[in-house]
Amino acid sequence: MKTMMPGEVWMGRLPHGCDLLEALNRICREQGIRLGRIEGLGAVKKARLGFYDQTRREYDFLDFAQPLEIVQLVGNVSMKEGEPFVHVHLTLADHEGRAFGGHLAPGTEVFAAEVVIQGLTGTPLHRGWDEETGLPLWGEEG
């Protein structure tokens, strides 16, 4: 475990029609956020969520071609291959209140989204290959 202190906070609305994951990554690159946490709410026009199959060690994806509410968007920012890397999990709900969740994947189109990205001070965490899980996880040195 590492000690980190709260840093600057970026708070705002994402552009209508943008790709949610790409927009979050772009903000972190442009604002120089190398370590942080993310939360948000809003709605999407369509969504793509991933679920990691632990046996096969690969993601399966669910595509939703319908409007959905963002019930919760939570994630973090660390470094991967020298660049800020956003890792977000998303819970969405349909017009009947059914919830769907998973790993945010490219292809999720924003209808309206308000997000808060809090930078953290301290040495950034770095993602590297973890042989045990087959995932790019925070390393001991990071």
User: What is the spatial distance between Cα 142 and Cα 130, in angstroms, rounded to a whole number?
Assistant: 13
pLDDT in tens, the chain (142 residues): 778 889 999 999 999 999 999 999 999 999 999 999 999 999 999 999 999 999 999 999 999 999 999 999 999 999 999 999 999 999 999 999 999 999 999 999 999 999 999 999 999 999 999 999 999 999 855 4
Q: What's the half-sphere exposure (Cβ side, CA atoms, 13 Å) at 42?
A: 24
Span 45-57, pLDDT tens digits: 999 999 999 999 9
Global pTM value: 0.93
Q: What is the pLDDT of residue 4?
A: 84
How far is residue 58 CA from its own chain's centroid?
18
Which two tokens mark 78?
Answer: 């660390």
Assign domain 5-122 to a CATH class.
alpha beta
Q: What is the pLDDT of residue 1?
A: 76
User: What is the spatial distance between Cα 106 and Cα 94, in angstroms, rounded to a whole number?
Assistant: 20
Give me the residue spans of the domains in the chain. 5-122
